Amino acid sequence: MSPERYQRIRSVLEKRQTDLTVCLENVHKPHNVSAIVRTCDAVGIHQVHTVWEKKYQIRRGTAMGSQDWVRQTNHDNISDAMHMLKAQNMQVLVTHLSDTAVDFRDVDYTKPTAILFGQEKYGATDEAIAMADQDIVIPMMGMVQSLNVSVAAALVLYEAQRQRTIAGMYERQQLPEEECHALAFKNGYPRLYKLCMRKGLPMPRINDIGEVDADESWWREMQITKAEAEALEAS
């Protein structure tokens, strides 16, 4: 990994927002899921939550590799997801047209926030709506009453990014340093990472110029030399 790539990775990880997330409840079209994950990466979200009746594969083409940088936690049901989010003291917003709904731009996204998006055709379930703290809407001036879920997610998330940028929240590293190193190794040295996991070895640290910083015993356990590892990643 070149020093330039490592610095790029570090810059991205240092801006990750651990207290801003998205929860997708039975959003079942893979291209929508992938597009939302791509937007999450773009605004610095570290983790997304999903509730699916069956597990879907995030499409690499639509996600453009963002699935490698945004962690996904799947829940068996919406109740489990909501309890986890609320245990993290997050305000849970749900996109839902109701008498109590507010314009999505009138919410304070500098607070720990989870934004729930429901299934494409039917929206969020009654259970999810009842457990959420606030309904939000995107004002519509045309004949249709809703946007594609991935478009709606992009609008809301970029409002959150705007507010957090003004508040200086991207200038403070939220992601623990240990996790930064783990992600840098996993994505900077993918082949070496797979070998490391296969052998059950701890992930090494990465130094300031993007090199694997491991002692000789670690390399011996890997049964590969540093020079061979560099050649493997370059191939």
**Binding-site annotation: residue ranges for S-adenosyl-L-methionine:** 95, 138, 147
* Six-digit token string for 184: 């840098």
- Mark 9-35 as b/e (b = at least 16 C-beta within 10 Å): bbebbbbbbbbbbbbbbbbebeebbbb
DSSP class of residue 106 equals G
Q: Which residue's entry shows tokens 């190193």?
A: 181
The tokens of 176 are what? Answer: 């623990």
What are the two backbone dihedrals, phi and then psi, of residue 200, each rounded to the nearest 5 degrees?
70, 30
Give the type of residue at 174: Q
Beta carbons within 8 Å of 92's beta carbon, 6+ residues apart: 23, 82, 85, 86, 113, 114, 115, 116, 131, 132, 133, 134
| Contact predicate 69/16, CB 8 Å | no
Distance in angstroms (rounded) separating the CA atoms of residues 123 and 186: 35
Looking up tokens 């109701």 gives 98
Q: Which residues are annotated as a binding site?
A: 95, 138, 147
